[in-house]
A and B are shown apart, each in its own frame.
Chain A
Amino acid sequence: MAKRIDVSGLTAFYGSHRAIDDISMSVEPRSVTAFIGPSGCGKSTFLRTLNRMHEVTPGGRVEGKVMLDDEDLYGAQVDPVSVRRTIGMVFQRPNPFPTMSIYDNVAAGLRLNGQKRKRDLDETVERSLKGANLWNEVKDRLNKPGSGLSGGQQQRLCIARAIAVQPQVLLMDEPCSALDPISTLAIEDLISELKSRFTIVIVTHNMQQAARVSDRTAFFNLAAVGEPGRLIEIDETERIFSNPSVQATEDYISGRFG
Chain B
Amino acid sequence: METTSTSAQAPPPADPADGRSATATAPVKGKAVRPGDKVFRGLSRGSGITLLVIMAAIAAFLAYRASIAVSKNSVNFLTAFEWNPQGDPPAFGIGVLAFGTVVSSLIAMVIAVPVAVGIALFVSHYAPRRLAAPLAYVIDLLAAVPSIIYGLWGALFLVPYLDGLTRWLDQFLGWTTVFEMSNPGSPARSIFTVGILLAIMVLPIITNVSREVFLQAPKMYEEAALALGATRWETIRTSVLPFGRSGIISASMLGLGRALGETMAVATVLSPGFLFSWHILDPGSGTFAQNIAAKFNEADDFGRDALIASGLVLFVITLLVNGAARWIIARRKEYSGANA
Binding site for B on A (CB under 8 A): 51, 53, 56, 58, 81-86, 88-89, 91, 93, 95-100, 108-109, 112-113, 145, 147, 158, 161-162, 165
* Closest chain B CB from A38 CB (angstroms): 24
* Closest chain B CB from A144 CB (angstroms): 8
Q: Is B220 part of the binding interface, using a Cβ–Cβ cutoff of 8 Å?
A: yes
What residues on A are CB-neighbors of B220 within 8 Å? 91, 93, 95
What residues on A are CB-neighbors of B226 within 8 Å? 53, 56, 84
Binding site for A on B (CB under 8 A): 129, 220-221, 223-231, 234, 238-239, 242-243, 334-337, 339-340
CA distance A82 to B230 in the complex (A): 9
* Closest chain A CB from B215 CB (angstroms): 13
In-complex Cβ contact of B339 among A81, A97, A108, A147 (8 A) = A147
Contact of A161 with B334 at beta-carbon distance under 8 Å, contacts A91-B223, A97-B221, A97-B239 already known: no
- Counting from the closest, the 4 A-B pairs by CB-CB distance are A85-B229, A99-B242, A89-B227, A98-B340
Contact of A53 with B229 at beta-carbon distance under 8 Å, contacts A97-B238, A108-B238, A147-B339 already known: no
**Cβ contact within 8 Å between B228 and A85:** yes
> Which label, helix, strand, loop or mixed, suits the secondary structure of the B interface?
helix
CA distance A58 to B124 in the complex (A): 13
CA distance A86 to B340 in the complex (A): 28
What residues on A are CB-neighbors of B337 within 8 Å? 98-99
**Cβ contact within 8 Å between A97 and B224:** yes
- B232 nearest CB neighbor, chain A only: A81
A sample of 15 inter-chain contacts (CB < 8 A) reads: A53-B223, A58-B129, A83-B229, A86-B229, A91-B220, A91-B223, A93-B220, A95-B224, A97-B225, A98-B340, A99-B243, A100-B238, A108-B228, A108-B238, A112-B230
CA distance A88 to B223 in the complex (A): 12
CA distance A81 to B221 in the complex (A): 16
What residues on B are CB-neighbors of A89 within 8 Å? 227
**Cβ contact within 8 Å between A84 and B335:** no
Contact of A112 with B224 at beta-carbon distance under 8 Å, contacts A99-B243, A99-B336, A147-B340 already known: no
CA distance A158 to B228 in the complex (A): 10
- A84 nearest CB neighbor, chain B only: B229
**Cβ contact within 8 Å between B234 and A112:** yes
- B340 nearest CB neighbor, chain A only: A98
* Closest chain A CB from B54 CB (angstroms): 40
Beyond the given A91-B224, A98-B340, could you list 17 further A-B residue pairs with CB under 8 A, ordered by the A residue number?
A53-B227, A81-B229, A84-B228, A88-B228, A93-B220, A95-B223, A97-B221, A97-B225, A98-B221, A100-B238, A108-B225, A109-B228, A109-B229, A112-B229, A162-B227, A165-B228, A165-B229
* Closest chain B CB from A95 CB (angstroms): 4
- B234 nearest CB neighbor, chain A only: A112
Contact of A145 with B335 at beta-carbon distance under 8 Å, contacts A58-B129, A95-B220 already known: yes
CA distance A67 to B238 in the complex (A): 30
Most buried by B among A53, A89, A112, A161: A112
Contact of A88 with B227 at beta-carbon distance under 8 Å, contacts A99-B242, A108-B238 already known: yes
* Closest chain A CB from B333 CB (angstroms): 10
**Cβ contact within 8 Å between B229 and A158:** no
* Closest chain A CB from B150 CB (angstroms): 36
What residues on A are CB-neighbors of B242 within 8 Å? 97, 99
* Closest chain A CB from B337 CB (angstroms): 5
**Cβ contact within 8 Å between A112 and B228:** yes
CA distance A89 to B230 in the complex (A): 13
